[in-house]
Structure 1
């Protein structure tokens, strides 16, 4: 069933349209009426609606101004304009703002019923089609196999020994750039059978192609910060060729395997989280020379085959890795660090830093990691926390007091210096928590002060408050709800109602005067909101 909001400064018209829609057979079970734009916004901020029908010329806020706010706060909400103005300029402006139709008064009942019914039906079907239409638009599976992917596959699967110039010529012909001089290749196998089990459905051929193309797109987005080429390969899997510069190799200090493992696990997490896909990633050596790429591709296939023979459950497998048990532990540790990030986001008191630190070090000890890997795990965790510190604190004073993780590089190599490592983690985690809480508290304090100063403003918008604290409207809404456990409009209504109570009990002001003072255009609307909020009318409350 649908709900409709009618906005018109003529109560007779509001009542007539309301009664007609409720008696119609187009699935409308609730109709509210507002006499101006300010009342309409209050309704929209308190309850969801499926359609708005509005006049143009109204006192206080006209229909054009109302639509501007509606489409900024509720961009998917359809609007129909009904007006006595036949001026094309009004119609043009309304349609340009996104109105679905512009009707001239008087409107025939059957015509209005037809338009409203059709619009509500389209809105009802919209969400059902949303996923499929988005996927089909973004991942057009007809483009899954292109000339480029065919030629790249022929090059990768050719058993011949390629010369450097021959390999460069292949990429030049395809207008692709892989500057190198070092290269690493991945093979990404997607297990669509497991995906079917997760979704409890049987995929058609086109569904499998869509999922593969979605996976390819996600792979490309996940690697957007790297010089990499990803494409669809033979046998229903994906291939990525990494181009690694001399500078990157120097920065990695000969530990390119660990870098590739971290990137691959990020990709695997994204595939699991966003597409609910399981699979495996085979990683080759990192070698110099573009002519080595076909050979590196064969290594990825061998890595994945070895994984199947060993019945290994790791999502990422390296051709040169002979320490499978240690790799499993590293995978467990990587998962724990992902959990650490979530834990820190949920921490609300600085003293929790000691608890988080003790639990983290205890879990590492429990894993029984080899000593060389143990030191690497500690540094990895330190950089994880320090990265959060940098993101969350910016120039916060406490953030500058925490040194870079490199300062404990020597301490992590020996158990005798574990107290130093523990102190570093505790101070870094505490700084993350303190800085994050202080920033949130300061931001919400400024927002609430702004609301207390401006709650009587009839045209107050979400964007106004978000702009005041220099946040995007979406993030501000999330942060406000998280901090106050109320959405912005519930909080604003509460402020207005609290002030109304004071004025009703402590003054002789008339109802219309109180409504004006707390931000309501019409006293009738103020009375409806007050009764909805407290369960009694303003007059009864005053008695």
Structure 2
């Protein structure tokens, strides 16, 4: 049974889509509707949403921004975009953010249902146990194997920091022969490290089986990034798969996109899918973004350093290099330094939320930016240090303040809704009833 969220600022469209899906015969447990991006985000944070159908144009928060925030909160949520704009730029950006389809209004009912069925069918793919998975890979390993020369060349590019003119010319010639295109000028790296010891039942992985699983990871990378991302993926060790992501000036300069958040979304999605389909834990390292291919060895060094932090945070698996402070000579901080640094991040986040929880449209991304850390790391630290996730903390503050206003003032529902940061009184009432088990008017009585 699936939970579906429909986000559109036109109530008639929301009702029409909800009625269509409700009568479709699909295994749908609950359909939620939101009339703007902020309402939709509340549902994503509070409910178990499997599929999001979102409009592109929704006022204060666009469908693109909603997708970006959704992928930060729950990168595995599937998305279908509905738009009145048949614009290639919108469609391309939506697909880069992981949209499974891009439908143009007016919506064709059969087309929408076919799209939803297709997404739900792929979500329903059962996970094989590892013995069956390995057997299946052995039996069907007739796919095109990665070109060893290409793998070797990419490893040389990211591991050799300085080359003489002759060696550099030879390397560039090899790139052309292998079909490697590194035009940038902006680059980042992602590294996936498979933890074969986490597989459990198999009791160890044979060398050939490890190679097959690494090949499966390479295919997950290819499927996830597709043609929408300009990337090169390759084996970088016996248990590592590395990805070079690159942007041209126009793509990188798009002010509507937070490139680091997108990299983290890819990292979290990779971790989720490797665990889901291969049954193995992985650790993901993400570098900063630098301009110039000469910095690729530095980016490779950064992903290795980011992965090191899994030894400190063993219950966390996606690490962005920029979240961690290294000493002037590259030394890791002491346990005491790290604890103090993390405590300060959480304390500042709490202070910011207490001061701004009533702000309409407050997002995890905004709180993270004020703390100069990624949303992914802030979420992890906040839950680890406080025992509650950050958005639950925001809702607690909003609900406690709204209760105080109901009990001690004669303010109307819409006025209280406005004061605690909600776009609509109706949405405020839904959250209030879910939190307290009664409506605002029932509490007032």
Give TM-score, length-normalised by structure 1. 0.46
Partner of 1:477: 379
Structure number with higher helix proportion = 1
Partner of 1:49: 49
Candidates 493, 514, 519, aligned match of 2:421: 519
Residues 7 and 37, structure 1, Cα contact 8 Å, conserved in 2: yes
Taking the aligned partners of 1:211 and 1:539, their CA distance within structure 2 comes to 61
Taking the aligned partners of 2:356 and 2:198, their CA distance within structure 1 comes to 52
Taking the aligned partners of 1:481 and 1:196, their CA distance within structure 2 comes to 26
The Cα of 1:488 is off from its aligned counterpart by: 1.1
Note the alpha carbon deviations across 1:344-374, whole angstroms, 9 max, x for none: 999xxxxxxxxxxxxxxxxxxxxxxxxxxxx
Taking the aligned partners of 2:117 and 2:341, their CA distance within structure 1 comes to 48
Partner of 1:460: 362
Residues 140 and 210, structure 1, Cα contact 8 Å, conserved in 2: no
Note the alpha carbon deviations across 1:253-292, whole angstroms, 9 max, x for none: xxxxxxxxxxxxxxxxxxxx979xxxxxxxxxxxxxxxxx
Taking the aligned partners of 1:468 and 1:484, their CA distance within structure 2 comes to 19
Partner of 1:17: 17
SS at match of 2:49: coil
Partner of 2:441: 539
Taking the aligned partners of 2:434 and 2:198, their CA distance within structure 1 comes to 47
- CA distance 1:146–1:118, shift in 2 (3 Å): closer
> 2:82 matched to 1:79?
no
Taking the aligned partners of 2:432 and 2:147, their CA distance within structure 1 comes to 62
Residues 144 and 213, structure 1, Cα contact 8 Å, conserved in 2: no
Note the alpha carbon deviations across 1:484-510, whole angstroms, 9 max, x for none: 100111111111111111221222222
> 2:204 matched to 1:210?
no
Residues 497 and 530, structure 1, Cα contact 8 Å, conserved in 2: yes
- CA distance 1:108–1:482, shift in 2 (3 Å): same
Mind listing any 5+ residue stretches in structure 2 that lack a counterpart?
A: 150-195, 216-234, 241-279, 283-310, 316-323
Residues 91 and 102, structure 2, Cα contact 8 Å, conserved in 1: yes
Residues 393 and 436, structure 1, Cα contact 8 Å, conserved in 2: no
Partner of 1:188: none
Taking the aligned partners of 1:475 and 1:3, their CA distance within structure 2 comes to 27
Give TM-score, length-normalised by structure 2. 0.56
- CA distance 1:128–1:66, shift in 2 (3 Å): farther
Partner of 1:66: 66
Residues 6 and 52, structure 2, Cα contact 8 Å, conserved in 1: yes
Partner of 1:497: 399
Taking the aligned partners of 2:375 and 2:420, their CA distance within structure 1 comes to 24
Deviates more, 1:22-31 or 1:82-91: 82-91
Deviates more, 1:437-446 or 1:502-511: 437-446
- CA distance 1:501–1:98, shift in 2 (3 Å): same
Residues 406 and 440, structure 2, Cα contact 8 Å, conserved in 1: yes
Taking the aligned partners of 1:62 and 1:500, their CA distance within structure 2 comes to 27
- CA distance 1:78–1:501, shift in 2 (3 Å): same
Larger radius of gyration: 1
Taking the aligned partners of 1:7 and 1:441, their CA distance within structure 2 comes to 36
Residues 56 and 81, structure 1, Cα contact 8 Å, conserved in 2: yes
The Cα of 1:198 is off from its aligned counterpart by: 4.1
Residues 56 and 62, structure 1, Cα contact 8 Å, conserved in 2: yes
Count of aligned pairs: 299
The Cα of 1:448 is off from its aligned counterpart by: 0.1
The Cα of 1:213 is off from its aligned counterpart by: 6.7
Taking the aligned partners of 1:59 and 1:533, their CA distance within structure 2 comes to 27
Mind listing any 5+ residue stretches in structure 1 that lack a counterpart?
A: 148-191, 223-272, 276-340, 347-390, 396-430
Residues 38 and 61, structure 1, Cα contact 8 Å, conserved in 2: yes
Note the alpha carbon deviations across 1:67-126, whole angstroms, 9 max, x for none: 232344443322222234455555455445443222233323222211101111112328
Residues 392 and 435, structure 1, Cα contact 8 Å, conserved in 2: no
RMSD: 4.6
Note the alpha carbon deviations across 1:19-45, whole angstroms, 9 max, x for none: 321232222111111011110011111
Residues 53 and 80, structure 1, Cα contact 8 Å, conserved in 2: yes
Residues 198 and 281, structure 2, Cα contact 8 Å, conserved in 1: no
SS at match of 1:125: coil
- CA distance 1:140–1:514, shift in 2 (3 Å): farther
Taking the aligned partners of 1:210 and 1:523, their CA distance within structure 2 comes to 57
Note the alpha carbon deviations across 1:120-171, whole angstroms, 9 max, x for none: 11123286699969x97xx999979989xxxxxxxxxxxxxxxxxxxxxxxx
Note the alpha carbon deviations across 1:407-435, whole angstroms, 9 max, x for none: xxxxxxxxxxxxxxxxxxxxxxxx96654
Taking the aligned partners of 1:196 and 1:84, their CA distance within structure 2 comes to 46
